[in-house]
């Protein structure tokens, strides 16, 4: 969970800085986590940059699958 949080923080900083592309090392780290999960919504398309928001959404999706029902911070 901490690793996902750190990746989300890095992506958010890029997003706030107005960056449109994710650096190679960061995208490799994130894709390793996303692709190893049972479910993910990130679609890797060749020759096309993946928006930072898509990376973040996919990491949040993985993070949500790892959380136990009692850990939901939204208070549903």
Whole-number pLDDT of residue 65: 85
**pTM, two decimal places:** 0.72
The mean pLDDT values, 10 residues at a time, for the chain of 76 residues are: 93 94 90 77 67 90 80 52
45/68 Cα distance (integer angstroms): 31
Predicted local distance difference test score (pLDDT) of residue 67:
82
Q: Where are the domains of the chain?
A: 2-71
- The string over 63-74, giving b where at least 16 C-beta atoms fall within 10 Å of a residue's C-beta and e elsewhere, is beeeeeeeeeee
- What is residue 33's predicted lDDT score, i.e. its pLDDT? 86
Contacts from 9-15 at CB under 8 Å and sequence distance 24+? 11/52, 11/55, 11/56, 11/59, 12/56, 14/52, 15/52, 15/53, 15/56
């Amino acid at each position: 969970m901490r690793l996902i949080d750190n990746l989300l923080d890095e992506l958010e900083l890029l997003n706030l800085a107005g960056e449109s592309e994710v650096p190679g090392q960061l995208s490799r780290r994130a894709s390793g986590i996303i692709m190893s999960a049972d479910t993910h919504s990130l679609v890797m398309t060749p020759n096309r940059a993946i928006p930072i928001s898509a990376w973040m959404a996919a990491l949040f999706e993985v993070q949500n699958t790892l959380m136990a029902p009692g850990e939901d911070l939204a208070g549903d």
